[in-house]
Amino acid sequence: MARWNDLLSKAKQPEIGQLVDNAMELIEADNPQLKGVLPKVYARQNLDATVLGELIDLIGNIKLGDAKGRSADVLGHVFEYFLGEFALAEGKQGGQFYTPKSIVTLLVNMLEPYQGRVFDPCCGSDGMFVQSEKFVEAHQGRIDDISIYGQESNQTTWRLAKMNLAIRGINSENVKWNSEGSFLNDAHKDLKSDFIIANPPFNASDWSGEQLQDDARWQYGKPPSGNANFTWMQHFLYHLSPKGQAGVVLAKGALASKTSGEGEIRAALVKDANVIDCIVNLPAKLFLNTQIPAALWFMRRDRANSRKYRDCSNVILFIDARNLGHLINRRTKVLSDHDIKEIADTYHNWRNQDGEYEDIAGFCASVNIDKVAELDYVLTPGRYVGLADEEDDFDFKERFTALKAEFEAQLEEEACFNKAIIENLAKVVL
C-alpha cells in the first residue's frame, strides 16, 4: 500500500512510466507466481505520460477500503469487467480468453466443486477457477479444500490468467503455459482430477491430429484430424479420477455429428464408458465470439456405484434451455440467476438421492440409454424432451371480437390522420 501511495504522489511526473515499470518488478519480486508475467512497457516513448498519470489518479480514487479481502474483491471485479470489455472489442478473438460469466456460473453451480482438484486444460483467463472459488466461499466452504490446475497455449492469455488469480489471492502455481498445447505437450500428464470445467475452442481443425493418431488417450476411438471436439472429450476423460466429474462446453454439432467416426466415439462414451450424465442445450447468442450454437456436456465416472448420488447408469438427463436467457443488446444474451438456478436445480434433483425430479415436457427428460441407442446415440435434447404442454383455452369468438375492435380503431385513427394531412396540405402556399 505504501508503494501504491508513493506512485500516486508521483502520477503527474514525466518519469511516471519508469516508476510503474519499477513497481511491476517489485510486485513480481514479492509474488514469485507472477515472475515474468506482468507487463513492463510503461516507460516506452509511444505511451503518453500525462494520460498514464491521469489513469493512475482515476484508479487512486477507487475506495478499496482497509480490508485486504474487500480490496481484492473490488480489483477482481474491475479486472473481470475489463476482460469482458476486451472480449467484446476483440470479437471472435475475444473468445480465446473469455467465457461469458453466466455460462461459467452455470457450470460451477451444476458441478458444485466444494473440494478436490479442479482442472481446466484450456483455461483462458481462468474464469472457471475464479467462479469455483466464489462458489465455495458462497457456501461457507474452505477455499484451501480445492486446488487448481490449468494449461494455456496462448502466452498473453496465460498472463491474464495469472494476474486474474493473483488479484484474488488464488494460488496459480499449477497453471502452466507452453506453446504446444495440451495435446502435444500435456503439462499435467499424471493428474487425475476431481472436477474438470472447460470451454475448449469449438471445432478446432489444427490440433496436430496427424501426429497423435496412436495416443493412449483415445480409448474410445481415434478423433478426426480435422476436428478436435472429441479429442478434448477424451482428453478430459483421461484426466478424471475414479469419482471425477466434468462439465464442458462444446459446439452443438458434436451432439449429432457422424463425420469421420465422431458418431462412433459418441456412442462409445454412452454405452462403453457410460460417463455421459447430462446434456444441456444452451440458448443462442450467449457467446461473444461465435454464433455457433453450443451445449454443455456433463460426464461422471461413478454413475453406478456412487455413495453420494443415485444410480444413473442406465439413464441420461436432457435439458433444453434454448428458451431461457435474455438479451442485453441486439447480439448478446445472458442467463439470469433464476435461469441458472432452474437448470442446476433440475440436474441436482435428478442425480441427488434426496432429489424430487420429474420430466417437464419441452424442458427436461430422463431418458433410458436404450432409447438413446434407438436414435443412434444422437444426444440433441430436443429429440427427447418433446414440446411444451400448452393449455387449450383459445376462445375464437372472444379473440375475433377483440381483433375486429382493434382493427376498427386503427381504421378510425387512420382516417383522422388522413384528414389532418389534407388540411395541412391545403394551408401550403405555392
Query: Per residue in 276-298, pLDDT tens?
Result: 999 999 999 888 667 788 999 99
Band the pLDDT of 95: cuts 50, 70, 90: very low
- Give domain 89-385's CATH superfamily: Vaccinia Virus protein VP39 (3.40.50.150)
Of 57-71, 79-93, 98-112, 401-415, the least confident: 79-93
Q: What is the DSSP letter of 224?
A: P
Q: Which of 47-61, 62-76, 284-298 has the highest mean pLDDT?
A: 284-298
pLDDT in tens, 145-176: 889 999 998 888 888 888 878 877 788 899 99
pLDDT in tens, 325-364: 998 887 788 999 999 999 999 999 999 999 999 999 999 9
DSSP β-ladder status, 240-251 and 364-368: unpaired
**Other C-beta atoms within 10 Å of 399: how many?**
10
Q: How far apart are CA 51 and CA 12, in angstroms?
A: 9
122 within 8 A of 97, measured Cβ to Cβ: no
Band the pLDDT of 35: cuts 50, 70, 90: confident
Q: What is the mean pLDDT of the chain?
A: 84
Q: How far apart are CA 74 and CA 266, in angstroms?
A: 43
Q: Which three cell numbers stand for residue 395?
A: 376462445
60 within 8 A of 8, measured Cβ to Cβ: yes
269 within 8 A of 379, measured Cβ to Cβ: no
263 within 8 A of 327, measured Cβ to Cβ: no
317 within 8 A of 309, measured Cβ to Cβ: no
Band the pLDDT of 93: cuts 50, 70, 90: very low
Band the pLDDT of 231: cuts 50, 70, 90: very high
Residues 205-231, mean pLDDT to the nearest whole number: 93
Q: Is the pLDDT of residue 299 over 90?
A: yes
pTM value > 0.85: no
Residues 6 or more apart whose Cβ sits within 8 Å of residue 190: none
Q: How far apart are CA 291 and CA 286, in angstroms?
A: 8
193 φ/ψ angles, rounded to the nearest 5 degrees: -95, 155
> Helix, strand, or coil here: 119?
strand
82 or 357, which is more confident: 357
Residues 6 or more apart whose Cβ sits within 8 Å of residue 101: 80, 84, 127, 131, 334
Q: How far apart are CA 351 and CA 357, in angstroms?
A: 9
